[in-house]
Amino acid sequence: MFVPLALAAAAAALVAACPDGHDHEHDAREPHVHRRAFPSAPLTPPSRPLQWGDVNIIHTTDSHGWLLGHQKASFPEPNYSADFGDFASFVTHMKAIAEEKDVDLLLVDSGDLHDGTGLSDGFPPGGVDAHDVSPSVFARHAGAMGPRADVASPSHELYIYNNTLDMYKNFAPKFHGRYLSSNVNITVLDKHGNNVSVPVGSRFARFETTKGRKVTALGVLFDFTGNDAGTTVQPVADMVKEAWFAEAIQEEPDFFLLVGHMPVARDNWPLVFNAIRAVHSTTPILILGGHSHVRDCLQLDGRSMSLESGRYMETVGWLSANLEHAGRTRNITFSRRYLDPNRVTFEYHTRRSNATFDTASGKAITKGLNNLAQQFDLSLTYGTAPQDYTLSRDPYPSNGSLLSLFADQVMPVGLAVNNTRAASGIPAFFFINSGSFRFDIYAGAFTKNDQLTASPFTDSFLFLPNVTLDAANAVVAALNGGSTASRRELEEEDVLYSRGDVSKRYNEWLRAMYEAEPLAKRAAANLTLGYVTEDACPGVGDDTLHTALPFFSTPAYVASPAPAGVASNAAVLDFVFDDYIVSDVVRILNSVQSATTYTASEAALYSETLLDEVLGVFAQAEWK
pLDDT, tens digit, 9 for 90 and up, residues 148-191 = 334 455 445 788 888 889 888 888 887 888 889 999 999 999 99
Q: How far is CA 244 from the centre of its chain?
A: 30
CATH architecture of 3-375: 4-Layer Sandwich (3.60)
Mean pLDDT of 426-435: 94
CA proximity to 166, closest of 192, 127, 112, 125: 127
Q: How much of the chain exceeds pLDDT 70, in percent?
A: 86
How wide is the angle at C-alpha 19 spanned by C-alphas 138 and 116, nearest 5°? Answer: 25
C-alpha distance across the termini of the chain, in Å: 30
- Residue 174 has a pLDDT of 79
Q: Alpha-carbon distance 222 to 327, whole Å?
A: 32
- Residue 152 has a pLDDT of 53
Cis peptide before 46 (omega within 30 of 0): no
- Residue 521 has a pLDDT of 82
Q: What is the DSSP letter of 127?
A: -
In this structure, of 17-31, 223-237, 499-513, the range with the lowest mean pLDDT score is 17-31
Mean pLDDT of 565-591: 94
How wide is the angle at C-alpha 125 spanned by C-alphas 120 and 129, nearest 5°? Answer: 25
Mean pLDDT of 80-91: 94
Q: How far is CA 255 from the centre of its chain?
A: 28
Mean pLDDT of 75-102: 95
**Domain 381-480+555-622 class?**
alpha beta
| Residue 10 pLDDT exceeds 50 | no
| Strand 444-447 relative to strand 381-385, pairing | antiparallel
- Residue 487 has a pLDDT of 44
How many CA atoms are closer than 13 Å to the CA of 525, on its beta-carbon side? 1
pLDDT band, residue 138 (cuts 50/70/90): low
In this structure, of 12-16, 273-277, 298-302, 469-473, the range with the lowest mean pLDDT score is 12-16
The SS3 call for residue 529 is strand
Q: Alpha-carbon distance 582 to 601, whole Å?
A: 9
Residue 514 parent element (H or E)? helix 503-516
CA proximity to 543, closest of 40, 69, 80: 80
- Residue 383 has a pLDDT of 98
Task: Answer whether 135's CB lies under 8 Å from 171's CB.
Answer: yes
Residue 288 parent element (H or E)? strand 285-289
Residue 309 parent element (H or E)? strand 304-309
| Residue 23 pLDDT exceeds 50 | no
- Residue 143 has a pLDDT of 47
Residue with the bigger pLDDT between 189 and 493: it is 189
- Residue 40 has a pLDDT of 52
Residue with the bigger pLDDT between 350 and 160: it is 350
- Residue 148 has a pLDDT of 37
Q: Alpha-carbon distance 259 to 217, whole Å?
A: 7
Residue spans per domain, the chain: 3-375, 381-480+555-622
- Residue 115 has a pLDDT of 78
What are 338's strand-pairing partners? 317, 542
Q: Tell me the C-alpha to C-alpha distance, in Å, between residue 555 and each of 317, 404, 482, 515.
A: 32, 11, 11, 19
Q: Give the start-end residues of each E strand in 395-508.
A: 428-433, 444-447, 461-467
| Residue 17 pLDDT exceeds 50 | no
How wide is the angle at C-alpha 407 spanned by C-alphas 403 and 413, nearest 5°? Answer: 130
Q: What is the DSSP letter of 81?
A: -
CA proximity to 529, closest of 514, 509, 539: 514
pLDDT band, residue 20 (cuts 50/70/90): very low
Q: Alpha-carbon distance 331 to 282, whole Å?
A: 9
Residue with the bigger pLDDT between 100 and 368: it is 100
| Residue 316 pLDDT exceeds 80 | yes
Q: Alpha-carbon distance 87 to 80, whole Å?
A: 11
Mean pLDDT of 121-129: 71
What's at 403, amino acid-wise? L
Q: Alpha-carbon distance 341 to 417, whole Å?
A: 40
pLDDT band, residue 489 (cuts 50/70/90): very low
> Against a cut of 0.75, is the pTM above it?
yes
pLDDT band, residue 133 (cuts 50/70/90): low
| Residue 228 pLDDT exceeds 70 | yes
Q: How much of the chain exceeds pLDDT 90, in percent?
A: 72
